[in-house]
A and B are shown apart, each in its own frame.
Chain A
Amino acid sequence: KQEVTQIPAALSVPEGENLVLNCSFTDSAIYNLQWFRQDPGKGLTSLLLIQSSQREQTSGRLNASLDKSSGRSTLYIAASQPGDSATYLCATHEGGGADGLTFGKGTHLIIQP
């Protein structure tokens, strides 16, 4: 059974810093990996989707990388802003739809003004 772990559980940094969030998974036979953002009490906003054949995806100040062989993904946020404060979740999909997405517990990020 797939297990997804996110480190750190919480992170607080000053505005303007570049930062990296980590995601690891136990079963490397994934179909894709997705990063989401969640604001308190709200739904999930999809940030980036990386297919298993891809190494990275970029959207604005966000860059996500995937290393299937080592079971790791990172989300890089450049020039952080207070509006980036949220919980960031990664999730893997093993394909076939039978098990849906497997999520980590998330990294709670606070950007200090």
Chain B
Amino acid sequence: DAGVTQSPTHLIKTRGQQVTLRCSPISGHKSVSWYQQVLGQGPQFIFQYYEKEERGRGNFPDRFSARQFPNYSSELNVNALLLGDSALYLCASSHGDVRQAFFGQGTRLTVV
């Protein structure tokens, strides 16, 4: 079975631009969460979606938004990019909102 897949793997954007990151969960998983990991730190929670509804939101500005589609895949959007948004963005999926989380390989976003 395929694991969690994220696209693209790497991305370079200019300050002020907008970016969309994509995530496909493990088949049968209905929950998708997004995390931001800056170098040397643990991942920070951004959003969780379960059955297409937002279940949780971390301490991130409104420039960050997400959605989940009927097939349970998800997109993370970041508007008005800042240099500080440069990070590894990780997607995780699970059967339920508190079950074991399985992570994708991440999208490395660089803002210049």
What interface size band does chain A fall in? 20 to 34
For A93, A95, A101, the residue with the greatest tally of chain B CB atoms inside 10 Å of its CB is A101
Q: Are B100 and A102 in contact (CB under 8 A)?
A: no
A36 to B44, CA, bound (A): 14
A41 interfacial contact with B, CB 8 Å = yes
Query: Given contacts A42-B105, A97-B50, is CB(A89)–CB(B100) below 8 Å?
Result: no
CB distance from B40 to the nearest CB of A (A): 7
**Known: A31-B98, A44-B90, A105-B40. Contact between A100 and B45, CB under 8 A?**
yes
Please, which residue of chain B has its CB at the minimum distance from the CB of A104? B42
Among candidates B42, B43, B55, B106, residue contacting A98 with C-beta atoms closer than 8 Å? B55
Once the chains bind, are A103 and B56 in contact (CB under 8 Å)? no
Complex partner residue of B97 from A89, A97, A104, CB under 8 angstroms: A97
Nearest to B100 among chain A residues (CB) is: A49
Per-residue CB proximity of A84-113 to B under 8 Å, as 1/0?
000001010101111111111110000000
- Contact of B42 (CB < 8 Å), options: A32, A46, A106: A106
Q: Is the CB of A43 within 8 A of B98?
A: no
- Which listed residue (B6, B45, B55, B103) contacts A44, Cβ 8 A? B103
Q: Do B42 and A103 have beta carbons less than 8 Å apart?
A: yes
Residue of A45, A49, A100 touching B48 (CB-CB under 8 A): A100
Q: Which residues of chain B in 81-109 are interfacial with respect to chain A, using CB atoms and an 8 Å cutoff? A: 88, 90, 92, 97-98, 100-106, 108
Sort A-B residue pairs by CB-CB distance and give the 8 closest, nearest first. Answer: A103-B42, A100-B45, A97-B97, A44-B103, A97-B55, A98-B56, A43-B105, A49-B100
A-B contact pairs, 12 of them (CB 8 A): A32-B100, A42-B106, A44-B43, A49-B100, A89-B43, A96-B56, A97-B48, A100-B46, A100-B48, A100-B56, A100-B58, A103-B44
Q: Given A46-B101, A103-B43, output 6 extra A-B contacts at Cβ < 8 Å.
A: A32-B100, A41-B108, A42-B105, A43-B103, A100-B35, A103-B44
